[in-house]
Copies of this chain bind each other. A is one copy, B any other.
Amino acid sequence: MARMTPEARRESIVAATLAVMHRQGIAATTVRDVAAALGTSSGLIHHYVTSMDELITEAFELAATEDLERAASAVSGGTDPIDHLRRFFDSYTRADDDSGMQLWLDAWAEAARRPALQRASRRLNEAWQGLVCTIITDGCSSGVMRCADPQAASWRLISLLDGLTLQTVAHGDTVSAEQAARWSRRAAEQELGLEPGILDGIEPGARPSGRVR
């Protein structure tokens, strides 16, 4: 249809691919589906992308990087390490839509057969771990958290959150997402020597009720 500059076209292709992947899952995303969503012919796509594998990997990286940046910017808004961690949980838990989590689950499973996707998934996973590790290290050096091995602790935390993702997506109604989120907060508080409930967003003794006019 309308002519576009190569960079803009490429971006629109990756974005459309991501939309289809959210709707249909990674394995069921075809070139023709993307073309239909984009309103163009299917031949166009292969002029911007050498293979379907490359396209899928790129789209996943786009989504994953967006997720990560959203979390990172949410964290950076905090005032101290505990607030950082609280914001991290908020941004992670605020999944208005299960399709984002389903995409991660798809990517994890699909990674075994797509080396490029595996590399991307691993890199992003380490970035998430690094984000949490920074928070914990800060918390330890400023004395508000207690943790012998921040790297191991952040690994455990990410692992727990992955388990939560999985249970929420794969066995949906067995347990509510809110309940699961609460449990993961309790585990983090216990892990880091924090007082229970402090990550729920309600600072004990500083609640905005009563005195507030």
Contacts and interface: CB of A to CB of B under 8 A. Distances in A.
Nearest to A168: B159
Interface string A88-110: 00000000000000100110111
Count the copies. Answer: 2
A205 B157 CA distance: 32
Contacts of A155: 167, 174-175
Given A105-B109, A109-B106, A109-B108, A159 B163 contact: yes
A162 B156 contact: no
Contact of A110 (B109, B180, B190): B109
Interface stretch (A40-48, A72-80, A118-126): A118-126
A166 interface: yes
A144 interface: no
Interface of A: 25, 27-28, 102, 105-106, 108-113, 118, 121-122, 125-126, 152, 155-156, 158-164, 166-167, 169-171, 174-175, 180, 183, 187, 190
**Nearest 8 pairs between A and B by C-beta?**
A163-B163, A109-B109, A108-B170, A159-B163, A162-B163, A105-B109, A159-B167, A106-B109
